[in-house]
């Protein structure tokens, strides 16, 4: 059976998802402040890296990267409710792209697997 | 500890510091301008050691192979030996063919290069007065059609370069032009796509080039050009663009000012540029956008256009600040 990343459509799927997902996080008052980067292109590149990872694609993230990358956000108050919101928006993005519930769940599991590192717990 | 060798001297690179920062800190003179990896003024060459890939973003492959890199965005993770490239080889000499005052503070400079230069309208070059003083300017001319390279130069009070252009430069004088770079240009193959061009001040220069390129290429989609100024004298190509828009049914020229003045032409719109653009172009889905000029306005518009449904990769902006 094809891997999750292959089933979702690989890099092309990530490219299709990144704009939709980014637009959602920028409009969602629960999390928009954390994403309103000065440099939208740099921010979009980060989103792409994140989506590739939770789609089960090739990535080199380590727990340490996740901790260091989000430390300043945790200091600003990033907590479980924000991660919940992101998982929800991720699911909505995939639904919009016609992905089935089982695969969406698998993506959510991958996103949840880095929760503790992201929140520096 | 990462070591940097330059001019037979060893320098220690502090954690997170760039090659440019390290050398400047130690009193070395390295030409530089934007310090953001955009303008290519601080181009250097590594003669030993490998620079991170990110320090070569936007360079030509032939240059990458030779170890060229941008010192301002090069944070080395291994020891390097570097030198300033022989930029003279990258420069082409040019002769001033025309200097025209377009408005109170904008000059149109036309220069004739000593050999043909390959470029896209909307890209930018570095204009060098001499070895030490160079500034970036966008190309408002069209390759293959215009013999001369055209630049719109805003006069800055006490500006070193613009002061020289205004007070000393004459027709027949020489300066040098360093190779065109940037990805803010018209691309063939989507003739029916609508184009949104928004610029403030001399951010109009690259857009003017892109617009002409699109028209010459037989673009069939709508082309909306917004030019923003503080007041109407800042709209330095107003009459020409108004006429052009009358000649081309798919070209729409929207002159905008922050503050209206008494004698301004009646097609000029008063108000906040970002709001005017959003009102006129409310659904830029599948449009291609080019944004040039004031960085705050470019940033705001980029977000607005993206949120209104445009693909991020369909929004181009010039990476450097217009000074």
The pLDDT value given to residue B239 = 95
State the Rg of chain B over Cα.
21
Inter-chain residue contact B306 with A38, CB threshold 8 Å: no
Q: Other C-beta atoms within 10 Å of B98: how many?
A: 12
Give the total residue count for chain A: 121
Q: Which two tokens stand for residue B152?
A: 């719109």
pLDDT in tens, B9-24: 999 999 889 999 999 9
Statement: residue B273 has pLDDT above 90: yes
Say if A19 is an interface residue toward chain B (CB within 8 Å). Answer: yes
φ and ψ at residue B7, rounded to 5 degrees: 55, 40
Report chain B's mean pLDDT, rounded to a whole number.
91
Q: Model pTM?
A: 0.78
The pLDDT value given to residue A64 = 80
Closest CA to B74 of B82, B86, B63: B82
* Identity of the residue in B299, B306, B312 whose CB atom sits nearest the CB atom of A38: B299
* Closest chain A residue to the Cα of B303, Cα to Cα: A40
Statement: residue A29 has pLDDT above 60: yes
* Alpha helix (H) residue ranges in chain A: 4-8, 10-27, 32-35, 40-54, 63-75, 80-96, 101-112, 115-118
Inter-chain residue contact A40 with B312, CB threshold 8 Å: yes
Give how far Cα B174 sits from Cα of A50, A116, B144, B154, B258, Å: 51, 63, 22, 20, 38
The pLDDT value given to residue B275 = 95
When scoring B312, B315, B318 by the number of chain A Cβ atoms within 10 A, the one with the most, hence best to mutate, is B312
Inter-chain residue contact B307 with A40, CB threshold 8 Å: no
Give how far Cα B135 sits from Cα of A16, B31, B126, B175, B316, Å: 38, 10, 5, 12, 21
Inter-chain residue contact A19 with B306, CB threshold 8 Å: yes
Say if A32 is an interface residue toward chain B (CB within 8 Å). Answer: no
Mean pLDDT of A6-35: 90
pLDDT in tens, B147-188: 999 999 999 888 899 999 999 999 999 999 998 888 789 988
d(CA B256, CA B270): 6
Give how far Cα B150 sits from Cα of A116, B107, B214, B240, Å: 56, 10, 17, 16
Mean pLDDT of B275-303: 93
Inter-chain residue contact B302 with A44, CB threshold 8 Å: no
B323: pLDDT confidence band, cut at 50, 70 and 90? very low
The pLDDT value given to residue B320 = 58
* Identity of the residue in B302, B303, B312 whose CB atom sits nearest the CB atom of A19: B312
Cβ B109 vs Cβ B72: under 8 Å: no
pLDDT in tens, B305-322: 999 999 888 999 875 555
The pLDDT value given to residue B241 = 97
Statement: residue B115 has pLDDT above 60: yes
Inter-chain residue contact B299 with A40, CB threshold 8 Å: yes
- The alpha carbon of residue B195 and the mean position of all alpha carbons in its chain are separated, in whole angstroms, by 19
* Closest chain B residue to the Cα of A23, Cα to Cα: B307
Say if A21 is an interface residue toward chain B (CB within 8 Å). Answer: no
Mean pLDDT of A29-46: 79
Q: Which residue has the higher pLDDT, B62 or B322?
A: B62
Classify the C-alpha dihedral B31-B36-B39-B43 as positive or negative: positive
Classify the complex by whether its ipTM is higher than 0.85, answering yes or no: no
Statement: residue B198 has pLDDT above 80: yes
Kindly state the greatest CA–CA separation across chain B. 65
């Amino acid at each position: 059976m094809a891997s999750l990343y292959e089933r979702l459509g690989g890099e092309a799927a990530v490219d299709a998802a990144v704009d939709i997902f980014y637009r959602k996080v920028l409009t969602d008052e629960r999390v928009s402040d954390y994403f309103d980067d000065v440099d939208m292109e740099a921010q979009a590149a980060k989103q792409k890296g994140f989506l590739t990872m939770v789609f089960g694609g090739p990535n080199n993230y380590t727990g340490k990267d996740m901790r260091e990358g989000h430390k300043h956000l945790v200091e600003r108050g990033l907590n479980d409710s924000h991660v919940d919101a992101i998982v929800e928006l991720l699911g909505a993005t995939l639904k919009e792209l016609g992905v089935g519930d089982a695969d969406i769940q698998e993506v959510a599991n991958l996103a949840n697997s880095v929760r503790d590192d992201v929140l520096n717990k | 500890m990462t070591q940097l060798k330059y001019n037979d001297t060893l320098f220690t690179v502090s954690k997170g510091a760039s090659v440019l920062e390290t050398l400047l800190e130690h009193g070395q003179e390295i030409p530089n301008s934007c310090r953001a990896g955009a303008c290519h003024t601080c181009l250097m060459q590594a003669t030993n050691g490998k620079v991170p890939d990110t320090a070569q973003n936007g360079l030509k492959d032939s240059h990458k192979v030779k170890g060229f890199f941008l010192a301002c965005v090069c944070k080395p993770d291994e020891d390097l030996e570097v030198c300033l490239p022989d930029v003279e080889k990258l420069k082409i000499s040019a002769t001033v063919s025309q200097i025209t005052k377009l408005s109170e503070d904008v000059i149109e400079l036309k220069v004739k290069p000593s050999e043909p230069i390959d470029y896209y309208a909307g890209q930018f070059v570095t204009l060098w007065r001499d070895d030490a003083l160079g500034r970036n300017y966008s190309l408002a001319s069209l390759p293959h059609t215009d013999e001369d390279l055209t630049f719109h130069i805003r006069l800055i009070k006490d500006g070193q370069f613009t002061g020289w252009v205004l007070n000393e430069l004459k027709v027949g004088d020489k300066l040098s032009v360093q190779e065109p770079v940037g990805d803010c240009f018209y691309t063939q193959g989507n003739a029916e796509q609508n184009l949104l061009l928004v610029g403030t001040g001399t951010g109009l220069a690259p857009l003017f080039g892109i617009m002409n390129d699109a028209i010459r290429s037989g673009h069939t989609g709508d082309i909306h050009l917004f030019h923003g100024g503080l007041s109407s004298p800042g709209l330095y190509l107003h009459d020409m663009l108004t006429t052009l828009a009358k000649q081309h049914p798919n070209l729409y020229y929207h002159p905008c000012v922050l503050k209206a003045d008494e004698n301004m032409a009646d097609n000029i719109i008063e108000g906040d540029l970002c709001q005017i653009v959003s009102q006129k172009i409310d659904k830029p889905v599948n449009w291609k956008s080019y944004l040039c000029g004031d960085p705050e306005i470019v940033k705001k518009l980029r977000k607005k256009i993206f949120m209104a449904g445009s693909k991020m990769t369909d929004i181009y902006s010039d990476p450097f600040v217009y000074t």
